[in-house]
């Protein structure tokens, strides 16, 4: 049976063991600082931030914190992301290592720019 859909970011984070809760709260704070105008929501059953569409999502797992969407296809992130397990638009930050605050901030700002450009292009089509 699937886990119930969380109703808030706080409720989502509360379902994890304390050490993971600390990392999830830290991730939340890093994103909030990088995108202070973004609003929080639950999307795809994960804590998410919205600004001109879905900005980023993050999630806790057994051995890592997942971060989505990450600019894994962007060449400027290729080298710095090479030390992490990545997938199409995702990065896994291991639970046993500190979160890379500067990298997360850079990725959030990258997504802010992308979302703004997409929103502007969409507005021009109307």
- Tens digit of each residue's pLDDT (9 = 90 or more) over 14-70: 999 999 999 999 999 999 999 999 999 999 999 999 999 999 999 999 999 999 987
pLDDT of residue 1: 40
The DSSP code sequence of 50-116 is: ESSSEEEEEEE-SSEEEEES--TT-HHHHHHHTTSEEETTEEEEETTS---HHHHHHHHHHHHHHHH
Q: Domain map of the chain by residue range?
A: 9-125
- Tens digit of each residue's pLDDT (9 = 90 or more) over 60-104: 999 999 999 877 778 888 899 999 999 888 999 999 999 999 999
Confidence of residue 7 (pLDDT cuts 50, 70, 90): confident
Fold of 9-125: 3.90.1150
The SS3 of residue 3 is coil
pLDDT of residue 42: 95
Over residues 98-125, mean pLDDT: 92
Can you give the pTM of this predicted structure? Answer: 0.90
């Amino acid at each position: 049976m699937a886990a119930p859909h969380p109703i808030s970011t706080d409720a989502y984070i509360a379902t994890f063991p304390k050490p993971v809760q600390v990392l999830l709260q830290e991730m939340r704070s890093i994103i909030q600082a990088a995108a202070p105008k973004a609003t929080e929501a639950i999307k795809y059953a994960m804590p998410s931030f919205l600004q001109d569409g879905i900005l980023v999502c993050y999630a806790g797992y057994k051995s890592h914190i997942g971060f989505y969407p990450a600019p894994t296809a962007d060449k400027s992130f290729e080298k710095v992301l090479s030390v992490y397990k990545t997938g199409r638009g995702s990065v896994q930050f291991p639970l046993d290592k500190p979160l890379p605050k500067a990298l997360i901030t850079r990725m959030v700002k990258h997504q802010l720019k992308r979302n703004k450009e997409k929103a502007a292009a969409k507005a021009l089509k109307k």
